[in-house]
Amino acid sequence: MKKPNEERIAKLVKELLVELGEDPSREGLLKTPSRVAKSLAFLTRGYSQTPRKVINGAVFSSGTNHMILLRDVEIYSMCEHHMLPFFGRCAIGYIAQGRVLGVSKLARIVDCYARRLQIQERLTEQIAEAVRDAVGAEGVGVVMECRHLCMMMRGVEKQNSVMTTSAVLGSFRTDEKVRGEFLSLVNR
C-alpha cells in the first residue's frame, strides 16, 4: 500500500478545523494539521505491514508441542466507525507443531492488524489466523479485552464498559481440555 500523503492529510485537517468553527491560524493550532497528519500515518501504519514482513523469518524449529502463551499484550487501535481509539490487552496462545515464533513477533502481529481502522471482532480473528498460518499451529486462541472511546466519550457514554472477544482455531475449538487450559492460563 502507498504511504499516506501527509501534506494532503494536513490540508484536509485544516479544512476540518474551519468546519468545526476553529481558526487554524491561531497560535495553538498552527502546527495541528501537520501533527494530526503524522499521528494518523503512525496510527494506521499497519496498512503497510503484513504478518510475513513483521515476522521477518523469526520462526524457529523446536521440539515443543505443548501450549505457548503470551498475556497482557497491549492493544491500541481505532474503530472504523468513528475513528476513535480503542485500547486494551490480549492473550495469544498456540500449540506448536515443531515450529515456534520469536516472542516479540506475536506482539508485532498484534500491531500489524491493530494499527488499521478496525473492529475488535475482526482484529481478534486476524491475529489468531496469522499465528496459525505463521507456524502451522495445531491450535490457536486469542482473547482480547478493550475499552472503546466511541462508547465512553460519545453515544451511550458508558465509561466502565469493556468488550471481550475471543477467537479459537483448531484444537482450541475442538478440544474442550485444550480450550480450558488456555482460558485458565489467561485468567491467572
- Per the document, the length of the chain is 188
Indicate whether 76 and 120 sit together in one domain: yes
Cα separation, 185 vs 114, whole angstroms: 23
Below-70 pLDDT ranges, the chain: 1
Indicate whether 15 and 83 sit together in one domain: no
Could you tell me the pTM of the whole model?
Answer: 0.95
pLDDT of residue 1: 64
Q: Is residue 133 part of a domain?
A: yes
Indicate whether 143 and 77 sit together in one domain: yes
Asked if 99 and 132 count as a contact pair (C-beta separation under 8 A), the reply is no
Q: Is 185 exposed, middle or buried (0-12, 13-18, 19+ CB in 10 A)?
A: middle
Total domain count for the chain?
Answer: 2
CATH of the domain at 161: 3.30.1130.10
Query: pLDDT by residue (tens digit) across 134-178?
Result: 999 999 999 999 999 999 999 999 999 999 999 999 999 999 999
Closest C-alpha among 135, 74, 140, 83 to residue 110: 74
